[in-house]
Amino acid sequence: MEQIRVMIVDDHPLFLQGLRQVLEAEEDVRVVGAATDGPEALAMACRLTPDVVLLDINLPSMNGMQVARLLKADLPNTAVIMLSAYHDESQVFHAVRAGASAYCPKDVTPETLVDAVRQVSQGFYVIEENVLSKPELAEWITQRFVGFGAFWEGSEDMFMPLSNREMDILQLITRGMSNKQVALELGISHQTVKNHMTSILRKLAVNDRTQAAVYALRKGWIRLQDTDSEYRGPE
């Protein structure tokens, strides 16, 4: 029997161990590796080329959305299942746009999770417990685009995933930095930061940087502890 090679990415040891035990109880699944943050996950995935990656959204330093986009760029045949404690339709949409083949809340039953692993390993997508083909996924995305974005100016931008640079900027403004401070921190121009901020607000459908920061915190894209240190400017 050919086994599905799975890699787990989660920085909570107890949850990670629980996932490992659930998966290794299945004869057709083999856990080939486990990582606790984004950079480690990307390096490990390139080395192991797993069939499926179980990926927590709420990771230190680099969130799961960023990891998914980079991972899919390097390993387009590896399926990503996003895991998160934050579950709503807009979050699912963002995960799919970032490259996920499935999105599961962290209270998912073991049976449902294992079934999702099997489905995505065969090229299907699992959205809201529905198993979809690629054309069916495209239809789902179109329906959500119309439902969420029909009345938004620039709605085509609204459902594009945030780039890694935009995620970096979002994390810094959540720490209370001004655009000028963000520019100094990242070594880019003030105007470039302003352009990115305009894009971030459009994509998240929010009105200002405060709402953007709250959105990112509520979705688990940025951790509260990542905002604790006060910015003091360059040394």
Q: Provide the domain limits for residue 127.
A: 4-142
- Would you say residue 114 lies in a domain? yes
pLDDT band at 230 (very low <50, low <70, confident <90, very high): very low
Mean pLDDT, residues 78-94 taken together: 85
> Do 90 and 25 lie in a common domain?
yes
Contact 117, 29 (CB under 8 A): yes
Give the per-residue pLDDT at 126.
94
- pLDDT tens-digit readout, 156-202: 444 566 787 888 898 888 888 999 999 999 999 999 999 999 888 88
How many domains does the structure of the chain reveal?
Answer: 2
- Would you say residue 88 lies in a domain? yes
The DSSP bridge partners found for residue 56 are: 83
Instruction: Return the half-sphere exposure (C-beta side, CA atoms, 13 A cut-off) of residue 224.
Output: 1
The DSSP annotation for 110-138 comes to: HHHHHHHHHHHHTT-EEETTEEE-HHHHH
- Would you say residue 235 lies in a domain? no
- Would you say residue 150 lies in a domain? no
CATH of the domain at 13: 3.40.50.2300
- Would you say residue 154 lies in a domain? no
Mean pLDDT, residues 121-150 taken together: 81
> Do 206 and 107 lie in a common domain?
no
Sign of CA dihedral 95, 96, 98, 102: positive
